[in-house]
């Protein structure tokens, strides 16, 4: 029988006026961007935590501490490729990823394909192995008030034989 593992990840970052908005490795035109030590790409962070979680390897803060200047302004897709290397070194490969971004604005639908392509390329996957969806929070809570953007991800890992 094929061995499989499942992992889930979540992240949220605050929206501020003087930062770019980067989601799934794609820069999106918007008057607000996400605040963080890295580029604050919540979707990529949620996917990294899901990958690490699937193998009980801890979380991204353990590998890329927000207290370390090395990761200041880091491109999260580069961090993702590091996590992917770790997963592969442990003898696993990604079956598929599914995710959802919670953002009241901007409209993300026009950017979803570019995010899937960017992440699939970085992870050496086909775009149909990378699911990305968007939803508003129907104006409820912090994301609904546009104070931040959050993302959830689930991954399935398959043992490499
Ligand atoms: N930032 C967003 C949020 C949503 N979408 C798309 O709109 C659809 C409806 O969203 P609801 O939150 O009202 O259910 C959703 O299914 C997405 O296709 C979007 O593009 N960008
Ligand atoms: C990505 C890292 C890198 O220092 O920093 P942040 O951009 O602050 O992101 P967060 O999800 O708060 O923490 C994880 C960190 O590993």
The token duo for 122 is 């970085």
Query: What is the percentage of the chain residues whose pLDDT exceeds 90?
Result: 98
pTM: 0.98
- What is the ipTM for the molecules in this complex? 0.95
- The candidate with the shortest Cα–Cα distance to 125, out of 51, 58, 22, is 51
| pLDDT tens per residue, range 88-117 | 999 999 999 999 999 999 999 999 999 999
Which residue has its alpha carbon closest to ligand 2 atom 12? 36
A 10 A CB-CB count for 75 gives 15
Which residues, 6+ apart, have CB-to-CB distance to 49 below 8 Å?
A: 7, 8, 9, 10, 11, 59, 60, 153
Which protein residues are within 6 Å of ligand 2, measured from CB? 11, 36-38, 40, 45, 60-61, 64-66, 71, 74
Distance CA 73, CA 25 (A): 13
pLDDT at 56 over 90: yes
CB of 69 closer than 8 Å to CB of 54 = no
Among 11, 35, 38, 74, the mutation site with the greatest number of ligand 2 atoms within 8 A of its Cβ is: 38
| pLDDT tens per residue, range 68-90 | 999 999 999 999 999 999 999 99
Sign, Cα dihedral of 147, 27, 153, 88: negative
What domains can you pick out in the chain, each with its CATH number?
Answer: 4-159 (3.30.1330.50)
């Amino acid at each position: 029988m094929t061995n499989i593992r499942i992992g889930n990840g979540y992240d949220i970052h605050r929206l501020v006026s003087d930062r770019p908005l980067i989601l799934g490795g794609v820069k999106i035109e918007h008057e607000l961007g996400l605040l963080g030590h890295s580029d604050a790409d919540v979707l990529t962070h949620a996917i990294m935590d899901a990958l690490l979680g699937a193998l009980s390897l801890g979380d991204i803060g353990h590998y890329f501490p927000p207290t370390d200047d090395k990761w200041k302004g880091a491109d999260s897709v580069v961090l993702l490729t590091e996590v992917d290397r770790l997963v592969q070194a442990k003898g696993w490969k990604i079956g598929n990823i599914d995710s959802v971004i919670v953002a009241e604005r901007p409209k993300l639908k026009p950017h979803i394909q570019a995010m899937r392509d960017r992440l699939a390329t970085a992870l050496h996957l086909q775009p149909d192995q990378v699911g990305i969806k968007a939803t508003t929070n129907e104006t409820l809570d912090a994301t609904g008030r546009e104070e931040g953007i959050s993302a959830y991800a689930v991954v399935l890992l398959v043992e490499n034989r």
